[in-house]
Amino acid sequence: EVQVLDSGGGLVQPGGSLRLSCAASGFTFSSYIMSWVRQAPGKGLEWVSAIGGSGDNIFYADSVKGRFTISRDNSKNTLYLQMNSLRVEDTAVYYCAKGQGGTNNWFDSWGQGTLVTVSS
């Protein structure tokens, strides 16, 4: 069974840092593009970042470029999101999401979400 389990959220002050993790199982992790998608409280979905299976193709939304870093460790079947210089507007539930196949960015499996709260 395909599973993705995200973790690492919490309360952080503006300007602080946090690292999210996503543990994957039930599929060949290195063969799939993975993404982070966030949802601010009561709002819609916003794509944050994506990384190719081998880790060489990386993309960011303009809202996080230069502050967030996506990475993956295929030996540990784990996806990461390092978030620096956090802002109040980064407050959201963060989901890791698996691409459907190859470079396909239809998200067919999602984590349960981890809440990041940026507040003083």
Partner 1 sequence: EVVLTQSPATLSLSPGERATLSCRASQSVSSYLAWYQQKPGQAPRLLIYDASNRATGIPARFSGSGSGTDFTLTISSLEPEDFAVYYCQQRYNWPPITFGQGTRLDIK
User: Which chain residues interact with partner 1 by CB under 8 A?
Assistant: 35, 44-47, 50, 59-62, 95, 100, 104-108, 110-113
Minimum Å gap between C-beta 89 and partner 1 is: 16
Nearer to partner 1, 32 or 107 (CB): 107
The number of residues making up the chain comes to: 120
Nearer to partner 1, 2 or 15 (CB): 2
Minimum Å gap between C-beta 2 and partner 1 is: 10
Minimum Å gap between C-beta 43 and partner 1 is: 9
Whole-angstrom distance between the N-terminal and C-terminal Cα of the chain? Answer: 40
At a CB cut-off of 8 Å and minimum separation 6, what does 30 contact? 53, 54, 74
Strands 78-83 and 68-73: antiparallel
Nearer to partner 1, 16 or 113 (CB): 113
Minimum Å gap between C-beta 35 and partner 1 is: 7
Helix (H, G, I), strand (E, B) or coil at 40: coil
Strands 114-118 and 10-12: parallel
